[in-house]
Amino acid sequence: MILSRTFPRVLEGVAALLLSTASTGAAAQQARNVILLLGDAGGLPTLNAGGILANDAPQSLYLHTMPNIALSDTSSRNQWVTDSAAGMTAIVTGHKTDNGMVSTLPSANGAVVPVKTLLEYAEERGLSTGVMTNMKIWDATPAATFAHVGTRKDKAAIFKQMLAPRYGNGVDILIGKGRADAIAAFAEQQTTPEKAFAAAGYGFGEDPALAQQGGRIAVLRDSDFAPIPAVEATIAQLARNPKGYFLMVEWDMHTDDPKKGLTHVKEMDDMIRRVSQIAGKDTLILFTADHSFGLRLGGGERGVPLLQQYNTEAAKPGVTAATNDVISVQDGHTGEEVVVAASGPGADKVHGFMPNTRLFDVMLSAYGWKQDRQAR
């Protein structure tokens, strides 16, 4: 009799415990922050050669230790081989578009239709946002996070939209190259970058350390900068927002100059390692490439540093592998799948073969958000 009265209470307690555990597990899987790390032209052959060049060992990059991996298709809407504009648009909007188009879609009447980016979702919800690149800030990859133009060449429109966002107050931290381009673009509007960015509420300069000062910052320069101090300062500032943040970091891995491109692989890998150390367990960290590139590792002996085994001049585009059988380059984008590597909340959705558009869904769902029905 006692058992018959007690047993329902036991079941009730077990059910409550299971519900509590399920709820805790669901909460643990939601990301507060998302960091998208984009190796521009960082296909598998480039990552492989970059790791061997840096460490004299295969699969020796930090990103090779990331727990979840997949292979992503990179084709665009109208071509088997994408450019960075269409490639990045797919990643940050979930829509394939034509080469050259930046977060827009073609329409039947010839006009272009803007599509909402993940950064705009974050801005709309009050998160902090950042864009950092060692390429020009108006170039296709960074522009696809915040701008909507029919052609990636429209620098003037990209700079204008940078300071006139559709959602929120715009990107909070901008770090990249293209200062001379900004001077020219704003001169056409009878102003200067300093005045235009100040009017939009930005501190403006050339030193990435400006990010440490807090507030909205735009750093534009025409020379390289140290990646790790810049990304540390950026994350420290963005993380002050209790709602979280979205950060996109692009690093150029084009290997038309093999030594330069493969050195950038090492730089970005060191950056990924550091980001993983400081970002926190509530952060989805996702690395991928927008497209691959025509580099091939065709030879080389173990035990001898790779850099000593190939002739830099002979490795340049247009030189056959017979002239240089260690590293050869066919200068141009290629269409094979690229790797996706991820850790943190939502990383479990990164597995198998996927279209590049699914990366948008992975990041959006990591935040616990739903895609707008009219995401235009």
pLDDT in tens, 119-133: 999 999 999 999 999
Nearest-angstrom CA–CA distance, 279 and 33: 8
Strand-pair partners of 293:
333
Residue-wise pLDDT for 179-231, tens only, equals 999 999 999 999 999 999 999 999 999 999 999 888 999 999 999 999 999 99
Residue 376 scores a pLDDT above 90: no
Residue 27 has pLDDT above 50, yes or no: no
Residue 4: pLDDT band (50, 70, 90) is: very low
327-335 mean pLDDT: 91
How far is 162 from 174, CA to CA, in rounded Å? 10
Query: 254-289, pLDDT tens digit by residue?
Result: 999 888 999 999 999 999 999 999 999 999 999 999
- Return the pLDDT at 149: 97
Which pLDDT tens digit goes with each residue over 288-305? 999 999 999 988 889 888
Q: What is the pLDDT of residues 162-179, one digit of tens each?
A: 999 999 999 999 999 999
What does the mean pLDDT of the chain come to? 90
Return the percentage of the chain with pLDDT > 90, whole number. Answer: 79
Average confidence (pLDDT) over 334-341: 97
| Res. 50: pLDDT tops 60 | yes
pTM strictly above 0.75: yes
Which domains, from first to last, does the chain contain? Answer: 31-154+244-367 (3.40.720.10)
For the chain, the three-class secondary structure string (H helix, E strand, C coil) is CHHHHHHHHHHHHHHHHHHHHHHHHHHHCCCCEEEEEEEECCCHHHHHHHHHHHHCCCCCCHHHHCCEEEEEECCCCCCCCCCHHHHHHHHHHCCCCCCCCECEEECCCCCEEECCCHHHHHHHCCCEEEEEEEEECCCHHHHHHHCCECCCCCHHHHHHHHCCCCCCCCCCEEEEECHHHHHHHHHCCCCCHHHHHHHCCCEEECCHHHHHHCCCEEEEECCCCCHHHHHHHHHHHHCCCCCCEEEEEEEECCCCCHHHHHHHHHHHHHHHHHHHHHCCCCEEEEEECCCEEEEEECCCCCCCCHHHCCCCCCCCCCCCCCCCCCEEEEEEEECCCEEEEEECCCHHHCCEEEECCHHHHHHHHHHCCCCCCCCC
pLDDT of residue 318: 61
Amino acid 311: pLDDT: 67
pLDDT value at residue 110: 81
Q: Which pLDDT belongs to residue 82?
A: 97
pLDDT the model gives residue 224: 96
Query: Residue 322 pLDDT > 70, yes or no?
Result: no
pLDDT band at 2 (very low <50, low <70, confident <90, very high): very low
Instruction: Give me the pLDDT at residue 14, please.
Output: 47
Look-up of token digits 């890998």: 269
